[in-house]
Amino acid sequence: MIDVTVYEALESSVRSYCRRTPVVFSRASGHRLFDQDGVEYLDFLCGSGTLNYGHNDPDMKAALLEYISRDGIAMGLDFYVEAKTAFLEAFEELIMRPRRLRYKMQFVGPTGTNAVEAALKLARKVTGRANIVAFTNGFHGCTLGSLSTTGSRSYRSGSQGQLANVYRVPYDRYMEGVDSAELLDRMMSDPSSGLDNVAAIIVEGIQGEGGLNIATAEWAQRIEEVARAHGALMIVDEIQSGCGRSCEFFSFESLGIKPDLVTMAKSLSGFGLPLAMVLIRPECDVWQPGEHTGTFRGNVHAFVTGAVALRKFWSDGQLAEHVNHCEKFIRGRLSAMAADHCCIRKGRGMMQGLQFPTADMAAQIQQRCLEQKLVVERCGPCDEVIKLLPPLTITEVALDQGLTIIEDAMQHAEREHKPGDWDHPIKQSATALLTN
């Protein structure tokens, strides 16, 4: 048992990950974490999606060490800086140009919620409207503007009623038989619906924290049509699903849509260094100089590693091919587990998981995984989904090892429960909503 005295005495009670994973980690490499005693763990959490390329990639590490050793500027505000030049050029050349995308890049404060705040503010400025449409089970951050678009009651509860100008609409297939895109169109068309003129619609292609729900191309395209028809901007949140996590660099690529604004963070630096940005359709870039600012708008060290990540992993199709292979491998293993146990496979790309009848069952499986030296996280409305976010660079051998631990944990949990405890409507009500 570790000594948590210093944490209990000095750190806020808001801490969470350490409560589920009471381990003192010391170092990390690739898909592996090591505790203070040198015990190795498989990492299927990866900083909640901030480490798509694994821990301490050697090329990024070498570039950062070299940059620091020659006194490269560490704090650049939004001055012209060589490292930023390299990142801008790499992103345009390797990400935007091949996809025929035209966006301006706005670097904001260091986290995803900063990107969402900027996108919401810009959408309101562009349209002259105040109202935002968000979706059930969406998660966009915990600062006040972002929190207003986040669905989770537990995150929203501390705001004491300050969340305004946001209308919630059911996500794709949230309710069987309800076409929420048509519902939204009807509400935006009806002057008596109570949904006043909308500045923007914000959506995730894959709802990471909301339970690994995924949008279909048909639904996403219809939402885009509704936004265009009613003069609203479309914001796609790629903070967790971006940088290759969905198999494509952006989750919206396979949906066949072109957002007006795209929010990015997490794995953008490639190295776990804070970096966030908003991609802005040029016609929407109506900011005045300094109108939206922040001291840490563009982490220069993150530009260094981010440029290396782009050139190393996105100059050819090798990583994408590997991710597609891993996606199929994960899908096959999880689907087999779901067929044999009382759970449902969810998600796509390397952002998949298993939904269980109760949060207690998922928690027991998570705890058993930790005992077997696998770090995984839970998500969903009640934390009832085991979510897998392994590095995109993970080997198939390590992937198989982790999935085997999860299956063993499920079998162990079933043995611990009384007969009938795992019989639950989730097994009988599995539909395309949950098995996508």
- Concatenating the DSSP letter of every residue in 90-113 gives HHIIIIIGGGT---EEEE-SSSHH
pTM of the model: 0.94
Q: Between 413 and 192, where is the model more confident?
A: 192
Q: Could you give the CA distance from residue 326 to residue 89 in angstroms, rounded to a whole number?
A: 30
Strand partners, 235: 202, 261
**Mean pLDDT of all residues in 394-419:** 90
Would you state the pLDDT for residue 424?
A: 53
**Mean pLDDT of all residues in 372-394:** 97
269-307 per-position pLDDT tens digit: 999 999 999 999 999 999 999 999 999 999 999 999 999
Residues whose CB is less than 8 angstroms from the CB of residue 264 and which lie 6 or more positions away in sequence, other chains included: 112, 115, 238, 239, 242, 243, 276, 277, 278, 279
420: pLDDT confidence band, cut at 50, 70 and 90? low
Check pLDDT > 70 for residue 161.
Answer: no
Would you state the pLDDT for residue 25?
A: 93
Burial of 111 (0-12, 13-18, 19+ CB in 10 A): buried
Would you state the pLDDT for residue 281?
A: 98
Q: Between 424 and 142, where is the model more confident?
A: 142
**Mean pLDDT of all residues in 328-347:** 95
Least Cα distance to 270 among 311, 224, 298, 231 occurs for 311
- Backbone φ and ψ for 191, nearest 5 degrees, come out as -70, -5
Asked if residues 118 and 106 have their Cβ atoms less than 8 Å apart, the reply is: yes
Would you state the pLDDT for residue 429?
A: 37
Residue 203 Cα to chain centre, angstroms: 12
Would you state the pLDDT for residue 238?
A: 98
Q: Could you give the CA distance from residue 165 to residue 143 in angstroms, rounded to a whole number?
A: 15
**Mean pLDDT of all residues in 359-377:** 96
154: pLDDT confidence band, cut at 50, 70 and 90? confident
Check pLDDT > 70 for residue 435.
Answer: no
116-126 per-position pLDDT tens digit: 999 999 999 99
Would you state the pLDDT for residue 433?
A: 41
76-92 per-position pLDDT tens digit: 999 999 999 999 999 99
430: pLDDT confidence band, cut at 50, 70 and 90? very low
Q: In whole numbers, what is the pLDDT of the chain averaged over residues? A: 93
From 3.40.50.970, 3.90.1150.10, 3.30.2130.10, 1.20.58.220, which CATH number describes the 5-56+317-435 domain? 3.90.1150.10
Would you state the pLDDT for residue 363?
A: 95
Asked if residues 307 and 299 have their Cβ atoms less than 8 Å apart, the reply is: no
Q: Do domains 5-56+317-435 and 73-313 have the same CATH topology?
A: no
Asked if residues 234 and 260 have their Cβ atoms less than 8 Å apart, the reply is: yes
73-313 maps to which CATH number? 3.40.640.10
Would you state the pLDDT for residue 158?
A: 74
Residue-range domain boundaries for the chain: 5-56+317-435, 73-313
Would you state the pLDDT for residue 163?
A: 75
Least Cα distance to 49 among 401, 398, 355, 390 occurs for 390
Burial of 231 (0-12, 13-18, 19+ CB in 10 A): middle
17-40 per-position pLDDT tens digit: 888 899 999 999 999 999 999 999
**Mean pLDDT of all residues in 327-356:** 95
Would you state the pLDDT for residue 89?
A: 98
Least Cα distance to 87 among 277, 246, 319 occurs for 277
Would you state the pLDDT for residue 314?
A: 98
Q: Between 394 and 428, where is the model more confident?
A: 394
Check pLDDT > 50 for residue 427.
Answer: no
Check pLDDT > 60 for residue 434.
Answer: no
Would you state the pLDDT for residue 431?
A: 36
Asked if residues 338 and 368 have their Cβ atoms less than 8 Å apart, the reply is: no
Structure tokens belonging to residue 334:
């999880």
CB atoms within 10 A of CB 105: 18
Asked if residues 392 and 48 have their Cβ atoms less than 8 Å apart, the reply is: no
Residue listed under structure tokens 């998500």: 379
